[in-house]
Amino acid sequence: MVGVVVNSLAIVIGGLIGLVLKHGLSERLKVVVMQGIGLSVIVIGLAGALKSNSTLLLVMSLAIGGLVGSLLQIEYRLDLLGLKIEKRFKGKEEGSFAKGFVTASLVYCVGAMAIVGSIEAGVSGNYDTLYVKSLLDGVTAIVFAATLGFGVLFSSVSVFLYQGVIVVLGILLGNYMPDMLIVEMSAVGSVLIMAIGINILEIKRIHVGDLLPAVLVPIVYYLLLYLF
């Protein structure tokens, strides 16, 4: 769990720096930097998605995951959670907490590095990927917090819980997860990363939260293959 703790702390530290610098950054600078991050997120997501060995599984995962997520209203519940926390911690950032919390949580939790890094940490105790992710998340948190407010800091809790669960699963199930499964889970997560980049650029609103179950579909697929 060392890598997960470092990742969470990096977000908090980066977020605090962002809040301090918030009034020292011009609106135009914030917009330009966010656009740069949005483009980078899309490129990173595209690179990961292209590693999939089964386009059919990728499409099927997104379709089934989107259906399940919509029925469970995951994105709505994430927004609701953010709003509830916002009411509890009202302050100067009122009105921006939910957006910062949800956006940052999705960016930090969904994707190849979060999945693969956490699995590596659980299976082999290798924290290298999570350390690199911590650096990237910390830098991104500076801009996110300066732009979206203090809700970004609370996304560290989402990161700790989400990646912590994957690490524990990696410890318990790591020896039973084939490399192909990890690749396909990462590819699906990378597509969602692309969607987040599109949302950041405000090209079109994509309900990434409702698509989150798609990352788990490859597990069910390979489990069925194993059983039958």
Q: What pLDDT band is residue 220 in, cutting at 50, 70 and 90?
A: very high
High-pLDDT (> 90) share of the chain, %: 23
The pLDDT score that the predictor gives to residue 107 is 80
**Predicted confidence (pLDDT) per residue in 140-182, tens digit:** 898 888 888 888 999 999 899 989 998 898 788 766 778 888 8
Q: Which amino acid is at 18?
A: G
Highest mean pLDDT among 49-58, 123-132, 201-210: 49-58
* Domain assignments of the chain as residue spans, ordered by start: 2-22+39-227
Instruction: Kindly state the average pLDDT of the residues 37-54.
Output: 87
**Predicted confidence (pLDDT) per residue in 54-91, tens digit:** 999 999 999 999 999 999 998 888 778 777 766 765 55
pTM assigned to the model = 0.75
Of 7-11, 59-63, 115-119, 171-175, the least confident: 171-175
Q: Between residues 137 and 97, which one has the greater pLDDT?
A: 137
